[in-house]
Amino acid sequence: MTDAARQASAIVIVPTYNERENLPILIEGLLRYDHVRVLIVDDQSPDGTGQLGDEFGTRFPGRVRVLHRTSARGYGRSCMDGVRHAIGEDVELVCLMDGDLSHDPGDLGAILAAARDADMVIGSRYIPGGRIVNWPIRRTLLSRFANVYIRLVTRLNVRDCTSGYRCWRRDALRKVPLDNIRSDGYSFLTEMLVRTARCRLRIAEVPITFVERRLGESKLSAGVLIESLITPWRLVATRNGGR
Ligand SMILES: Nc1nc2c(ncn2[C@@H]2O[C@H](COP(=O)(O)OP(=O)(O)OP(=O)(O)O)[C@@H](O)[C@H]2O)c(=O)[nH]1
Ligand SMILES: [Mg+2]
């Protein structure tokens, strides 16, 4: 762990749906960072992830908390609720990561450290040093295609636009017009990135090793993929109508 990682106070938002088996390992990894607290945003997971999170909340008061959502379920909606909550907290950095251990808590130190010189940091699979472990070729191709597509349509100069491992300086995040965000699925990630870039905030990427989930099930659906195809065009179309 670097000195920078120790010093920056951060809240890590983790959207969860049926991640009961992964949660203890994730929380243990995150709590190794002294100035990090965890905000689990759970959508009433049938496997009891939310209740397990509450148990950690009791064991680690002030460091682990669960936001129990009851309105329509969704990755993007959960991230948004987490971001809205985190923005009101007394922290320097607001981070987002998956709860299925694809994102290694060990990579968080480098992400937090990079946020000293950037408004937004992306944990990137597609810059030198970045890696993906155990993805089938079909998944790799889909992700590669998505990134080329998003970069072409939105003209973003970011290598990994769809990474869900990221961090903002809280003061920078407050400048992003969150009320305009309309995506629900993974295109939430593209939309947040585009809107961050449009605020002329500094975006950096640091390499991460992404490991395909070993436990639990994927929630990637056709609807989410279709939304991802449409969102970049919607963002371009609305470019002149605000940020
Ligand atoms: N709160 C909430 N979290 C969700 C929802 N869908 C997915 N998640 C969480 O968002 C994170 C990413 O979802 P994954 O299912 O891992 O999606 P993925 O990484 O594209 O798919 P895999 O590669 O199969 O893991 C995980 O922590 C999920 O538990 C949802 O509807 N609500
Ligand atoms: Mg995953």
DSSP secondary structure, 58-86, as one string: HHSTTTEEEEE--SS--HHHHHHHHHHHH
Instruction: Report which ligand 1 atom has the smallest distance to the Cα of 43.
Output: 1
The whole-number pLDDT of residue 182 equals 84
- C-beta separation of 150 from 46 below 8 A: no
Query: To test the ligand 1 pocket, which listed residue (17, 30, 210) has its Cβ within 8 A of the most ligand atoms?
Result: 17
- Quote the CA–CA distance of 22 and 16 in Å, as a whole number: 10
Of the ligands numbered here, which is closest to the C-alpha atom of 17?
A: 1
The whole-number pLDDT of residue 4 equals 47
Instruction: State the sign of the Cα–Cα–Cα–Cα dihedral 221, 15, 156, 122.
Output: negative
pTM: 0.94
The whole-number pLDDT of residue 243 equals 59
- Ligand 1 centroid to residue 17 C-alpha, Å: 6
Instruction: State if residue 159 touches ligand 1 by the CB under 6 angstroms criterion.
Output: no
The whole-number pLDDT of residue 241 equals 53
Could you tell me the mean pLDDT of each successive run of 10 residues in the chain, 243 residues long? 65 98 98 97 98 98 98 94 97 98 98 97 98 92 93 96 97 94 87 95 98 81 81 85 55
- Ligand 1 centroid to residue 141 C-alpha, Å: 19
The whole-number pLDDT of residue 5 equals 45
- C-beta separation of 114 from 203 below 8 A: no
- Ligand 2 centroid to residue 157 C-alpha, Å: 24
The whole-number pLDDT of residue 38 equals 98
- Ligand 1 centroid to residue 240 C-alpha, Å: 32
Instruction: State if residue 184 touches ligand 1 by the CB under 6 angstroms criterion.
Output: no
Instruction: Report which ligand 1 atom has the smallest distance to the Cα of 219.
Output: 15
Instruction: State the sign of the Cα–Cα–Cα–Cα dihedral 6, 170, 38, 75.
Output: negative
- Ligand 1 centroid to residue 242 C-alpha, Å: 30
CA dihedral 154, 186, 39, 65 (to 10 degrees): 150
- Quote the CA–CA distance of 174 and 25 in Å, as a whole number: 31
Element (H or E) spanning 12, and its range?
strand 10-16
The whole-number pLDDT of residue 240 equals 58
- Ligand 1 centroid to residue 22 C-alpha, Å: 12
- Quote the CA–CA distance of 38 and 54 in Å, as a whole number: 11
Instruction: State if residue 213 touches ligand 1 by the CB under 6 angstroms criterion.
Output: yes
- Nearest alpha carbon, ligand 1 atom 31: 74
Residues paired with 41 in a beta bridge: 15, 67
What residue ranges in 86-179 does DSSP mark as E strands?
A: 93-96, 120-124, 131-133, 166-169
- Quote the CA–CA distance of 86 and 96 in Å, as a whole number: 10
